[in-house]
Amino acid sequence: MTGNPSFDLFKISEDHEALREAIRSIAEDKIAPFAAAVDEEARYPQEAHDALVASDFFAPHIPEEYDGVGADALATCIVIEEVARADASASLIPAVNKLGTMPLILGASEEVKAKYLPPVARGESTFSYGLSEREAGSDTASMKTRARQDGDDWVLNGQKSWITNAGVSEYYTVLAVTDPEGKRGSNVTAFVVEKSDEGFGFGEKERKLGIKGSPTRELHFDNVRIPGDRVVGGVGEGLKIALRTLDHTRVTIGAQAVGIAQGALDFAIGYVKERKQFGSRVADFQGIQFMLADMAMELEAARQMVYVAAAKSERGDKDLPFFGAAAKCYASDVAMKVTTDAVQLLGGSGYVKDFPVERMMRDAKITQIYEGTNQIQRVVMARQLLKG
């Protein structure tokens, strides 16, 4: 951290506000009506997918030179936030497209970018990210997946766990150890794997607490031959690229958390204004008003942190690792609290699937876990502080 406060960290422009209005309208009209069914049936939110493609919100972060719309980091966060307000599962479409392609944007050759970014920008494929393994979650450097060089190619063996949109995506950024005897952290390389590659397969869909509309599966690699021109960055640079990627994409999880919390707060406010007990609206009781005030206050603080981190992501500020971790950590903790309080405000109605807040509470939990648990976020923040 610089230690020097900045009072112009981000600015919401008229374009950003127009973007919010546009994506909110799409989310309310074409995503929210299907959210309950997507959750109940644990099916991919195809309606949301199609709506996002049609409106150019599918992968808004991809630069214009690769057929994208070139949305800045704050605009991308607004898209994810507004989709998550309607359906957290659907918000993972633009979020994971950024996660999967960010290693390419940060480190790939021009040839790799030109081949793989345009199809995602056009909505022809989602792009997933393969870093975690069963025994290498927070400790990413201990991964067991291996890539062995064979002439100009690489042969990939191993597995990846908890991969978002696995089976739906055509493309995957996959991290593998390429020098087992090399220095830990400097012996990992990133590759683009295509769904059609021989020997590449998927595990069964995970049965999850929340985000049930976003398929989560293992990736299996059995002597998968990867052409040498699909290496992302230099050999041995994979983990550094992966960690730089997370500095940027943790901000999008913060945005997702803010959106989930906003959706829950909005619904709870509407409910307590209509519900009557003891002859008065529930909203007229001071205890309820204080709950709502705290929910809104903490949510707005989380939103400001996410937007500041997004501005730092866009600029590539040196203190992004701290701010990205802080935004993700705080916003996801707030989302868990706000959604839990929303269930409480609805009473018995909050606990049943007739109303969306129980889904939002289940969906919020994962934001505290993926792209680095909140315990790991605190490790990241502490390291940045101690570095000075």
Cβ count near 108 (within 10 Å)? 23
The CA radius of gyration of the chain, in Å to the nearest whole number, is 21
Distance of CA 306 to the CA centre of its chain: 13
Tokens 């203190």 belong to 319
Helices within the chain (DSSP H only): 14-26, 32-41, 46-54, 73-86, 88-107, 110-121, 238-274, 286-315, 320-346, 357-366, 374-387
DSSP 31: I
Determine the Cα–Cα distance for residues 154 and 174; give it in Å rounded to an integer. Answer: 12
Task: List active site positions.
Answer: 371
Bridge partners (DSSP) listed for residue 129: 173
CB 303 within 8 A of CB 314: no
Determine the Cα–Cα distance for residues 216 and 88; give it in Å rounded to an integer. Answer: 14
N-to-C CA span, the chain: 6
